[in-house]
Amino acid sequence: MRCNRCTEPAGWLRRSCKDCARLVEVFNTNRGADMASMMDLLIGTGVGREKIERFLDSDFEGGASVRDHIAADMTNQLLAAFGQSARKTPAEVQRIRKRGSWVHLDRPPEE
Ligand SMILES: [Zn+2]
C-alpha cells in the first residue's frame, strides 16, 4: 500500500509509512505549538524536508490539511490569550487561506 500522506510505498497493510507515522505522533503531542516551533520539531525527527511539506499538505481530520490544523491551533491560542472565546476550525482556516493573501505566510522561507 501507499502512504496516505506522502504517497510513498508504505508496506503491506500500512496506511502510512514510518516517517509519516512519526510526524503525526510529533504533531499530536505538540498541538498548539506555533508554526516555527512545529517545523523545528518535525525537522528534528530527521525526516526529509520535502516529505515534511507533503505531510503538511496532506489531509488530517475534517478534510483540512495538517498545515491548516496548525494554523487553527495557533489562531485559537492567540484568541484565548486575548480573552476571546471565538474558535476557528481548521476548515475555516483553510477557506480563509485558499481565498487569498496569506497563502504562503505559514510556509518556511525558501532556502
Ligand atoms: Zn509517508
**pLDDT (tens digit, 9 = 90+) per residue, 15-34?**
899 999 999 999 999 998 88
Is the distance from CB of 77 to CB of 32 less than 8 angstroms?
yes
pLDDT band for 108, please (50, 70, 90 cuts).
low
- Look at residue 96 in the predicted model and tell me its pLDDT: 73
- Residues around ion ligand 1, judged by CB within 5 A, are 3, 5-6, 17, 20
- CA pair distance 4, 14, nearest whole angstrom: 9
Q: Give the distance (Å) from ligand 1 centre to CA of residue 21.
A: 7
Q: Give the distance (Å) from ligand 1 centre to CA of residue 61.
A: 16
Is the distance from CB of 41 to CB of 52 less than 8 angstroms?
no
- CA pair distance 99, 82, nearest whole angstrom: 25
pTM: 0.74
Retrieve residue 92's grid coordinates: 475555516
- CA pair distance 75, 56, nearest whole angstrom: 17
What is the per-residue pLDDT across 41-54, written as a single tens digit (0 to 9) for each? 999 999 999 999 99
- Look at residue 54 in the predicted model and tell me its pLDDT: 96
